[in-house]
Amino acid sequence: MEAVLQSADALDADSRTSIGKALDLLRAFGDDAHDGLGVSELARRAQLSKSTAHRILGSMESGGAIARVGKLYRRGALFTQMQASPRRMQHDWIRELLTPHIAELYASTGFTTHLAVLDGSDVVYLNKLQDTRSSRSPVRIGGRAPAYSTAVGKAMLAFNAPALRRLQDVEFVKWTPATVSNQRELSQELSRIRLDGHAIDRGETVSTIRCVAAPVPGLDGKAVAAISLSWDAGVAGTENLAQSVHKAARAASRALTVAHLDQMQLRKAAATATR
């Protein structure tokens, strides 16, 4: 009876597809993915014959999914390459944390809202809620734009000196007649923003679109992100939008600060536990 069951088990194992067998081999590493395992142990854990395991491991090795060091196999560089970069993970974290605040801003104003961060001399838009009554904004989630020609970019540059220094060698492109065209104009604009606490885009990227943005400072006071509202030029009832953006940015900053403090406490607790 035991022999019959073993034969059935073998038949079931043989019925797996090549992809299924490869996935079982990857799962077989368990906590030993870094140290590595021999083919015999991997075959045993994956319930494969040694020859089958050796053949599949060889195929995965050629594709970078498996690395071989002597007689041991480890998970390969492909898994590292597939992992999100620290910057991408940070952007995802900011998006998840602050999106509720742009959603609330959109609900209270009805205008298109954006959430953006700085990346070098550009801004990257992490999220957008579109007002369908307005002209379609050229901004797309994940898209980039020069920081000097956008309200979100200028709002962050005014309150992030290290980021501003990275713009020293940037070539200014005049997207519209209203776009700032040199460092002197940008410096004057940023001085006004520091006084007002918010930035205005007067058709500097698209001549028919207006925008107001406020920075979202982190624990050190530097702008980590920015929140904005945009609308078509000539639309009435936009006088108090700056106040609405300020309110949303302050709430977002509080959420960011709390989250940062929570992270610091967790890291401190983890460090204490390992001593």
How confident is the model over 64-84, as pLDDT tens digits? 888 888 888 888 777 766 665
* 138 inside domain: yes
* 5 inside domain: no
Q: Are strands 144-146 and 37-38 parallel, antiparallel or unpaired?
A: unpaired
3-state secondary structure labels for all residues of 110-143: CCEEEEEEEECCEEEEEEEECCCCCCCCCCCCCC
Does 95 share its domain with 181?
Answer: yes
Residue that is last in its domain, among 82, 101, 127: 82
Does 74 share its domain with 92?
Answer: no
Element (H, E) at 226: strand 223-232
Given this model, what pLDDT does residue 221 score?
A: 87
How confident is the model over 107-116, as pLDDT tens digits? 999 999 999 9
Does 51 share its domain with 90?
Answer: no
Given this model, what pLDDT does residue 158 score?
A: 93
Buried b (16+ CB within 10 A) or exposed e, 181-208: eeeeebeebbeebeeebbbbbebbbbee
* 98 inside domain: yes
| HSE (side-chain half, CA atoms, 13 Å) at 268 | 6
Structural contact between residues 230 and 114, judged by C-beta atoms closer than 8 angstroms: yes
Residues β-bridged to residue 125: 116
Does 49 share its domain with 183?
Answer: no
pTM score > 0.85 for this model? no
269 pLDDT tier (thresholds 50, 70, 90): low
What is the count of structural domains for the chain?
A: 2
Does 110 share its domain with 245?
Answer: yes
Averaged confidence pLDDT in the chain: 84
How confident is the model over 7-19, as pLDDT tens digits? 434 434 456 788 8
104: containing domain = 86-268
Does 63 share its domain with 148?
Answer: no
* 11 inside domain: no
Does 165 share its domain with 260?
Answer: yes
Pairwise pLDDT comparison (197 vs 81), residue with the higher score:
197
DSSP 150: S
- Residue 241 sits in a domain whose CATH number is 3.30.450.40
Residue whose token pair is 């992030």:
160
